[in-house]
C-alpha cells in the first residue's frame, strides 16, 4: 500500500501550510501543481521549488517529481506577467482615489499590496469553491464513509469532533476570500462540501446541505469574534463601540467588501503602527516638494495604504480635508493609476461573474 506523502507548502512569507497526499507521490510535477492549487484555492499559475541538500537546502526550481520527499518543504512561486505586476503595485493608491472621489466608503479594492500583513488577501471569491484538504484522520474517515455511501447509500452522522474539524477548516478557507460571506457564498461552500463528500449529505434537507450552511454561518461569526478580540481591523471596524450613537447596532451599516474587492481594511505592515505611518505621511508632504521624486513618493504611498484606508473607513473625512492630508493622491500621475485600476476592477468583475 502506498504511504501518504506529507508536505509543508510555503505560500508566502508568513503563510506555511500542511498538505497530505494519501495516494503518495504524484505522477508528474503538473499533477502536483494542480493538487496544490485546488487544495489551497489558488487562482494564478504557479511553479514549485524544493530544498536542495547539495546547496545548503536553498530553494531550487523543481525539475522532476522524484525531488519531492515525505515531510519535505515546497515553496510556491506565483507566475505573473510584467503588466500584471505593474497593475498590482499601483492598485493600492488607485483604490483610495476612487473611494474619496465618490465621497463614500468605497467601490473597488486592490488584490494585495507589497509588504502587507499576513491578514492581507490574495484571491477574490472563486467561481467554483474548492473544498480544502482536511486532517489526515478526517480525510481517512470521510473516505471510508464515502465508499459506504456509494455502495449502500449510507449517510454519515459526523461526530462532534469531525464536524468541528470540517467547519474549522472551511472557515479558514472562507476567510482567505471574505470575512463576511453572503448567504449565497455559504451555500456554494456547503454544496461543494457535500458534492466532494456525498456521505455528508443531510436527510430531510431540501438541498442536502442546508444544515451545513447554517453551521458555517455561526462558525464564521465565532471566527470574527475571535479575530475582533485579537484586534483585526477588518472586523473591529464593525464593532458596536466603533459606531456612532445612532448606529450602535451590530447589524447596522456593516462595512465589508463589495464585488471584486479583496483587501477591504488591511492590517498595518509588519513592524508599523499608526504613529510610524503618520510620520511617513508627513514625510510624503516633504517629498512632494522635490523634483523627479515619483518613485520615492509611490513607495511611501504604498507603505501607508492601510493607514490611509482606515482613515477613510473610520473617519469618513471630507474630500477637502483628505486632500490636504494626502495631496499625492490627487496629482496628474495618480489619475492614470486610477484609470488603470478601474480597468482591472472591471476585468475582475467579469472574471468573477464567469
My answer on whether 213 and 276 are in the same domain is: no
Domain presence at residue 120: no
Domain count for the chain, please give it. Answer: 3
My answer on whether 142 and 226 are in the same domain is: yes
**Residue 109 contacts residue 261 (beta carbons within 8 Å):** yes
16, β-bridge pairs: 10
Angle in degrees, CA 86, 90, 74, rounded to 5: 60
My answer on whether 174 and 219 are in the same domain is: yes
My answer on whether 157 and 186 are in the same domain is: yes
My answer on whether 227 and 298 are in the same domain is: no
Domain presence at residue 252: no
Domain presence at residue 294: yes
Domain containing residue 302: 83-105+271-353
Q: What is the pLDDT of residues 266-295, one digit of tens each?
A: 777 888 888 888 998 899 888 888 888 888
Secondary structure, 3-state, 84-146: HHHHHHHHHHHHHHHHHHCCCCCCCCCCCCCCCCCCCCCCCCCCCCCCCCCCHHHHHHHHHHH
CA quadruple 98, 102, 108, 114: dihedral, nearest 10: 40
My answer on whether 165 and 188 are in the same domain is: yes
The CATH number linked to 39 is 3.10.20.90
My answer on whether 71 and 94 are in the same domain is: no
- The predicted structure's pLDDT at residue 310: 79
Domain presence at residue 265: no
**Residue 297 contacts residue 285 (beta carbons within 8 Å):** no
Q: What is the CA radius of gyration of the chain?
A: 23
Residue closest to 178 by CA, chosen among 214, 132, 224, 114: 224
- The predicted structure's pLDDT at residue 252: 47
Residue closest to 27 by CA, chosen among 2, 54, 44, 57: 2
- The predicted structure's pLDDT at residue 85: 44
C-alpha cell at position 340 = 488603470
My answer on whether 26 and 87 are in the same domain is: no
My answer on whether 152 and 213 are in the same domain is: yes
My answer on whether 198 and 221 are in the same domain is: yes
H/E element, 9: strand 5-12
- The predicted structure's pLDDT at residue 311: 84
In terms of pTM, does the model score above 0.75?
no
My answer on whether 213 and 290 are in the same domain is: no
- The predicted structure's pLDDT at residue 206: 86
- The predicted structure's pLDDT at residue 148: 94
Question: Which residues of the chain have a pLDDT value below 70?
Answer: 1, 80-123, 239-265, 333-354
My answer on whether 16 and 61 are in the same domain is: yes
**Residue 110 contacts residue 262 (beta carbons within 8 Å):** yes
Q: What is the pLDDT of residues 44-100, one digit of tens each?
A: 788 899 998 888 888 999 888 888 889 999 999 988 644 444 444 444 444 444 444
Q: At what angle do helices 294-303 and 82-101 cross, to 10 degrees?
A: 70
Rounded Cα gap, residues 153 and 82, in angstroms: 52
SS3 188: helix
- The predicted structure's pLDDT at residue 112: 39
- The predicted structure's pLDDT at residue 154: 92
Amino acid at each position: 500500500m502506498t504511504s501518504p506523502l506529507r508536505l509543508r507548502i510555503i505560500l508566502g512569507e508568513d503563510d506555511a501550510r500542511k498538505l497530505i497526499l494519501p495516494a503518495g507521490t504524484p505522477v508528474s510535477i503538473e499533477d502536483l501543481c494542480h493538487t496544490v492549487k485546488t487544495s489551497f484555492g489558488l487562482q494564478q499559475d504557479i511553479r514549485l521549488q524544493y530544498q536542495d541538500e547539495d546547496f545548503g537546502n536553498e530553494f531550487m526550481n523543481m525539475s522532476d517529481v522524484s525531488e519531492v520527499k515525505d515531510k519535505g518543504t515546497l515553496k510556491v512561486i506565483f507566475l505573473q506577467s510584467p503588466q500584471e505586476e505593474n497593475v498590482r503595485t499601483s492598485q493600492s493608491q488607485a483604490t483610495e482615489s476612487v473611494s474619496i472621489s465618490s465621497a463614500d466608503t468605497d467601490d473597488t479594492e486592490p488584490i494585495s499590496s507589497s509588504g502587507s500583513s499576513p491578514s492581507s488577501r490574495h484571491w477574490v471569491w472563486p467561481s467554483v469553491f474548492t473544498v480544502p484538504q482536511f486532517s489526515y484522520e478526517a480525510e481517512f474517515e470521510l473516505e471510508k464513509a464515502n465508499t459506504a455511501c456509494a455502495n449502500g447509500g449510507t449517510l454519515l452522522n459526523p461526530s462532534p469532533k469531525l464536524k468541528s474539524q470540517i467547519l474549522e477548516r472551511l472557515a479558514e478557507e472562507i476567510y482567505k476570500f471574505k470575512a463576511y460571506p453572503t448567504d449565497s457564498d455559504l451555500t456554494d461552500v456547503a454544496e461543494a462540501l457535500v458534492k466532494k463528500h456525498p456521505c455528508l449529505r443531510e436527510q430531510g434537507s431540501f438541498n442536502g446541505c442546508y444544515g451545513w450552511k447554517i453551521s458555517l454561518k455561526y462558525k464564521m461569526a465565532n471566527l470574527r469574534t475571535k479575530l475582533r478580540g485579537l484586534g483585526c481591523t477588518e472586523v473591529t471596524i464593525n464593532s458596536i463601540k466603533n459606531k456612532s450613537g445612532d448606529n450602535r447596532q451590530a447589524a447596522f451599516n456593516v462595512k465589508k467588501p463589495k464585488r471584486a474587492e479583496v483587501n477591504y481594511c488591511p492590517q498595518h505592515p509588519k513592524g508599523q503602527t499608526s504613529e510610524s505611518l503618520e510620520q511617513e505621511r508627513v514625510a510624503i508632504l516633504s517629498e512632494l516638494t522635490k523634483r523627479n521624486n515619483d518613485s520615492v513618493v509611490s513607495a511611501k504611498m504604498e507603505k501607508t495604504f492601510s493607514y490611509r484606508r482606515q482613515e477613510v473607513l473610520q473617519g469618513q473625512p471630507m474630500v477637502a480635508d483628505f486632500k490636504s492630508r494626502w495631496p499625492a493622491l490627487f496629482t496628474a500621475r495618480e489619475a492614470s493609476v486610477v484609470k488603470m485600476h478601474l480597468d482591472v476592477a472591471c476585468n475582475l468583475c467579469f472574471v468573477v461573474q464567469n
